[in-house]
Amino acid sequence: MINSHRTGFATKLGGVLAAAGSAVGLGNIWRFPMEAGQNGGGAFILIYLACVLCFGLPIMIAEFVVGRHARANVGSAYGILAPGTKWKYVGPWAVLIAFLIICYYNVVAGWVLCYFYDALAGNFVQIAEQVVNGDPSAYVSNFNNFVTDPWKPVVCLLGTIGITHFVITKGVRSGIENSSRIFMPALFIILILLMIFAFNMPGTKQGIEFILKPNFDNVHPSTVLAALSQCFYSMSLGMGIVTYASYFRREANLSRNAISVAFMDTMVAIIAGLIIFPAVFSVPGVEPQAGASLVFIALPNVFGNALSSSPLLMWFVPVLFYALLLLASLTSVIFLHEVVTAWVAETFSFTRHRSAKIVTSLVILLGILCSLSMGILSNFTVAGLNLFDLLDTVTTKIMLPISGIMVCLFVGWKLSTRKLWVELTSHMTVTFKPIHIFVGLLRFVCPALIFVILVSGFIN
C-alpha cells in the first residue's frame, strides 16, 4: 500500500541537496582523478560527461520514479509497485548492498576523520620536517602504522558513525535535510578555496592542461568502460537512492532534480581534479593515478613540499582538504545509513530511534572487523582478500551491477506506462518529451552497458 502521508523533505532545495550528498563522496575526490589520470585526463572527462547524460541520468530518474510513486523505502518500494511478484526481492537486495558498503566505507571515513584531526593538530607539519631531515618514507610509515593499529582506526570509525547516528535519529527534515543544507554548501565553499590555492602552485598550468585538454591518443575501449564504471558508482546508482526519492515532494520535477544532482556530483569531481593535479604536478615524482594512496600518502607529501615556504599554508591547506573529504564521506555514510534504517523502521514498525540503534550497532560490529582486517586480522582471508577488500569487491563488482540491471528492467518493462508518465510529469504539472528515448535506454542500452561492467568486474 502506498503511504501518501509519509514524512518527506520540507523543501525542494533540501531534497536536491540531500540527493546530491548521497552521490558526492570520496569516489568523486580520489577515484575520479585516479581514473582521469589513468585514461588521458580531458578525453576521459568528455567521455564521462557523455556517460552521465546517456547512462547515469536515465537510471537515476528511474530510481526517483520508483521511490516517489511507492512512497516507501527501497526495500519495500518494488513490492508495493509489483505486489505478488519476485520483483519484491530487488529492494532488499539494495538494502543489503547499502549495509555492506557502509560497514567498510565507514572505516575509510574514520581514516579521513583521523587525518583531519592530524591536519588540525599540525602533525603533518612535523612529518614534513622528518622528510626534510632524511626520512622520505615518513608519510608512508604514518599511514601504514595508522591503518594497522588495533585501536586508533576503530576510535575514528566510532566517531564518524556517532555523527551519522545523531543525524539519522533527528529525522528526515531535522537531521538529513538540515545537515545537507549545511554540509553541501560548506563542501563547495571549501572546493573553491582549495582551487584558488591550487591555481597558485607551480604545477598549475600543467595540471589544468592535463585535466581539461583532451588527448584522444590515450582513449581505448577500456577508457569508455572506466568512464561507465565511474559514472555508475559516483552517482550512487543501485545503492538505494529510491529511499531519498520517496521523501521528494509531489510537485518536485524528477528529471530536473536528477540533472541537478548529476551536475553537482560531476562538478565536485572535476573541481577535485583541478585541485589535485596542479598540486601533484608541483612536486616531481608523484603520479596522478596513485589512487587511494594519493589522498593519504602522496597529497600530504605534496602539501608539505609545495607549501614549505609558508608554514601557515602548510597547516591550513591540509585542514581544508581533509575537511572536504570528511564532509563528502559523511554525506555518503548518512545516505547509506538512512537506506537501511528506513527499511528496518517501516518493515518491522520500529521507531526511528530504535531502528537507528540496531543499524548503528551492526555497522559498528562489522566495521570493527573490517578495520581490524587491515591489521591483526589480516591473516583471515577469503579468496586472498581480507574482510575489507572482500566487501568492497563483492558489492562494487557484483552486487551493484546486478541491482542496476534490475532497476532498468523494472522501470523499463514492468512499471506501467501510466505510473511512469504520472511521475515523469509530476502529476501532469510539467512536461517530459523524451519519454520514448528514456524508456528505450532503460530497456536496452543501460542494462547492456551495466552487464559489460559486471562481466569486466569478473574478468579483472
Dihedral Cα 110, 147, 27, 368, nearest 10 deg: -50
| Mean pLDDT for all residues in the chain | 92
Q: Write the DSSP string, 217-262.
A: GG--HHHHHHHHHHHHHHTTTTSSTHHHHTTS-TT--HHHHHHHHH
pLDDT given at position 288: 57
Least confident range from 16-20, 125-129, 419-423: namely: 125-129
Calculate the alpha carbon distances from 268 to 119, 394, 445 in Å. Answer: 22, 27, 27
One-letter amino acid at 83 equals P
| Model confidence pLDDT, tens digit, residues 233-243 | 999 999 999 99
pLDDT tier for residue 260 given thresholds of 50, 70 and 90: very high
Collapsing DSSP to helix, strand or coil, 41 comes out as strand
Helices (H), 297-445: 299-306, 311-348, 352-372, 387-394, 400-409, 417-424, 435-440
| Model confidence pLDDT, tens digit, residues 10-42 | 999 999 999 999 999 988 988 888 888 888 788
Distance CA 259, CA 398 (A): 27
pLDDT given at position 430: 92
Distance CA 425, CA 313 (A): 50
pLDDT given at position 410: 98
pLDDT given at position 367: 97
Phi-psi region of 236 (alpha: psi -120 to 50; beta: other; left: phi over 0): left
Over 80: is that where the pLDDT of 445 sits?
Answer: yes
Residue 415 or residue 130, greater confidence: 415
Write the DSSP symbol of residue 25. S
Over 90: is that where the pLDDT of 116 sits?
Answer: yes
Q: Please state, for a pLDDT cut of 70, what percent of the chain lies above it.
A: 97
Over 90: is that where the pLDDT of 373 sits?
Answer: yes
Over 80: is that where the pLDDT of 129 sits?
Answer: yes
pLDDT tier for residue 259 given thresholds of 50, 70 and 90: very high
Calculate the alpha carbon distances from 407 to 62, 94, 318, 319 in Å. Answer: 7, 10, 40, 40
146 phi and psi angles, rounded to 5 deg: -70, -50
Q: What is the mean pLDDT of residues 323-340?
A: 97
Calculate the alpha carbon distances from 410 to 81, 253, 258, 389 in Å. Answer: 10, 21, 19, 31
Distance of CA 211 to the CA centre of its chain: 21
| Model confidence pLDDT, tens digit, residues 150-161 | 999 999 999 999
Q: What is the mean pLDDT of residues 375-392?
A: 94
Distance CA 206, CA 277 (A): 8
- What's the CA angle centered on 52, arms 74 and 14, to 5 degrees? 50
pLDDT tier for residue 1 given thresholds of 50, 70 and 90: very low
Over 90: is that where the pLDDT of 47 sits?
Answer: yes
Q: What is the mean pLDDT of residues 76-80?
A: 97
Q: Please state, for a pLDDT cut of 90, what percent of the chain lies above it.
A: 72
All three cell numbers of 112, joined, read: 579521513
- Best mean pLDDT range from 212-221, 303-312, 330-339: 330-339
pLDDT tier for residue 297 given thresholds of 50, 70 and 90: confident
pLDDT given at position 95: 98
Buried b (16+ CB within 10 A) or exposed e, 420-452: beebbbbeeeeebeeeeebbebbeebbbebbeb
Over 70: is that where the pLDDT of 226 sits?
Answer: yes
Q: What is the mean pLDDT of residues 75-103?
A: 97
- Helix, strand, coil shares, percent, the chain, to 5: 75, 0, 20
pLDDT tier for residue 294 given thresholds of 50, 70 and 90: confident
Q: What is the mean pLDDT of residues 389-417?
A: 96
One-letter amino acid at 221 equals P
C-alpha dihedral sign at 140, 143, 148, 149: positive
Residue 313 or residue 283, greater confidence: 313
Q: What is the mean pLDDT of residues 393-397?
A: 93
Distance CA 131, CA 154 (A): 28
Find all residues with CB under 8 Å of 275, minimum gap 6, and list them: 191, 194, 195, 197, 198, 321
All three cell numbers of 126, joined, read: 612535523
pLDDT given at position 105: 96
Residue 264 or residue 460, greater confidence: 264
The whole-model pTM stands at: 0.95
Over 90: is that where the pLDDT of 395 sits?
Answer: yes
What is the CB neighbour count within 10 angstroms for residue 294?
Answer: 23
Contact between 311 and 125 (Cβ < 8 Å): yes
